[in-house]
A and B are shown apart, each in its own frame.
Chain A
Amino acid sequence: NAGVMQNPRHLVRRRGQEARLRCSPMKGHSHVYWYRQLPEEGLKFMVYLQKENIIDESGMPKERFSAEFPKEGPSILRIQQVVRGDSAAYFCASSPQTADTDTQYFGPGTRLTVL
């Protein structure tokens, strides 16, 4: 059973460009979570999605960031007009259910560098 997959693993963008990060959850998992890890810091929750629904986006910056999890295909985290402060590692996690008890399994992360 393949784990959570994220691509690309490394992404370099210039200021003002768009970044698209992809996450394919583990087979059988219908819940996806995105986290951001700034250098030398812990992970911060961004958004929680189920198929075709955003359940909680309270951790998302109000502007330039959006996320989706379509019926078919991976979850996408999109950052428009990137700025240097967006440079971070972005982790996706998935779980089979939403309950507190569920373990979230993490992907390897996408390291975004904004020049």
Chain B
Amino acid sequence: AQKVTQAQTEISVVEKEDVTLDCVYETRDTTYYLFWYKQPPSGELVFLIRRNSFDEQNEISGRYSWNFQKSTSSFNFTITASQVVDSAVYFCAPPTGGFKTIFGAGTRLFVKA
């Protein structure tokens, strides 16, 4: 079975600090995709990124970057120069080998002004 672990339950930072959210996954599949979603206080789920297991290059999108390390089964997410609007719960998710995306427990990020 596929499994995702987000060990950090809550993280609190001050605005403009960099912050990294960890995600460790387990899978028997050789090919897979990983996702990150954001859930702001308003409650909706926002898709952030999808990463193919074949592509080990880091990805950067504005202040967001993702570090995929296949050797350690990690797919960590870094926010550079955090802002108050980044405060949210962030979920890491792999597909399960079908269509049932399994979400980790999420990491709640608080960014203080």
B-contacting residues of A (Cβ < 8 Å)?
31, 33, 35, 41-45, 48, 55-56, 58-59, 89, 91, 93, 95, 98, 100-109, 111
Contacts and interface: CB of A to CB of B under 8 A. Distances in A.
Contacts of B16: none
Nearest to B29: A100
Contacts of A89: 43
A5 to B, nearest CB: 12
Given A42-B91, A42-B105, A101-B33, A108 B98 contact: no
On chain B, which size bracket covers the interface? 20 to 34
- Tell me what chain A mostly uses at the interface: helix, strand, loop, or mixed: strand
B111 to A, nearest CB: 19
Interface in B50-86: 50, 52
Given A48-B100, A105-B47, 8 more contacts: A42-B106, A56-B99, A93-B101, A100-B33, A103-B35, A104-B101, A106-B46, A109-B43
Interface of B: 32-33, 35, 37, 43-47, 50, 52, 91, 95-106
11 contacts: A35-B103, A42-B91, A42-B105, A43-B103, A44-B103, A56-B98, A98-B99, A100-B33, A106-B46, A108-B43, A109-B43
B105 A41 contact: yes
B99 A48 contact: yes
Nearest to B101: A104
A91 to B, nearest CB: 6
Given A41-B105, A42-B91, A106 B43 contact: no
Contacts of A91: 45
Contact of A106 (B47, B97, B98): B47
B52 to A, nearest CB: 8
